[in-house]
Structure 1
Amino acid sequence: MNQEQAAKWAKIRTMGKARYVMYYGVAAWGVGLTALFTGMEWLTQGTVTGQWLTIRLLVFSVVGFILSNFKWEKNERSHRGGQ
């Protein structure tokens, strides 16, 4: 991690792990991918299925939660100077 990345991470980490995971994982990944795939469903099929919308939101939110947890831990190790 270079100095610029370390400074950026130092600022981001002040929000805490829980808020980071909710913001970057659940909100960004979960809601973002749900909106993207629901939009694709609307464009290709002309309709949105409520059941698939719920499934997408749950699956993508869990995936985002897991990915952002790994990202937090990776950034923390890098910030401390570890690999």
Structure 2
Amino acid sequence: MKDSHKAIWLKRKNLGRPKYLLYFGLLPWGVGLTVLTSLFEFLSFGSLNPIWVPIRLIIFFFIGFFVANGRWVAMEYRFEAPGPRRP
């Protein structure tokens, strides 16, 4: 990996795990996909069923949480120095 990728990761890691999950998981996935699917529903059917909006928000928040958490773990594994190995 390039040093620029590591620098970006270190900057994001300095946010802390909760803020990282919020900024890179919950907000883009949760809110973004909710807006996108609601817009798709409105364009397809000509109306928006308000009961589905909070359901979508909850489901996409969970998806965003797991995606961002997986990325956090993968980046820690990729860029952190491994500890000493025991025989």
- Identify the TM-score tier after normalising by the shorter chain: over 0.9
Aligned partner of 2:52 in structure 1 is 52
Provide structure 2 residue ranges, at least 5 long, that are not aligned to the other structure. Answer: 83-87
Higher helix share: 1
Provide structure 1 residue ranges, at least 5 long, that are not aligned to the other structure. Answer: none
Matches of 1:67 and 1:81, distance apart in 2: 23
> Using CA pairs below 8 Å that are at least 6 residues apart, which structure has the higher relative contact order?
1
Matches of 1:37 and 1:7, distance apart in 2: 34
Look at both structures and tell me which one has the larger radius of gyration over its CA atoms: 2
Query: Any idea what the Cα deviations from partners look like across 1:37-71, whole Å, max 9, x if unmatched?
Result: 00000101111111111111010010000110000
1:7 corresponds to 2:1: no
Q: How many residue pairs are counted as aligned between the two chains?
A: 82
**TM-score, normalized by length of structure 2?**
0.88
**TM-score, normalized by length of structure 1?**
0.92
Q: Which runs of 4+ in 1 moved over 2 A?
A: none
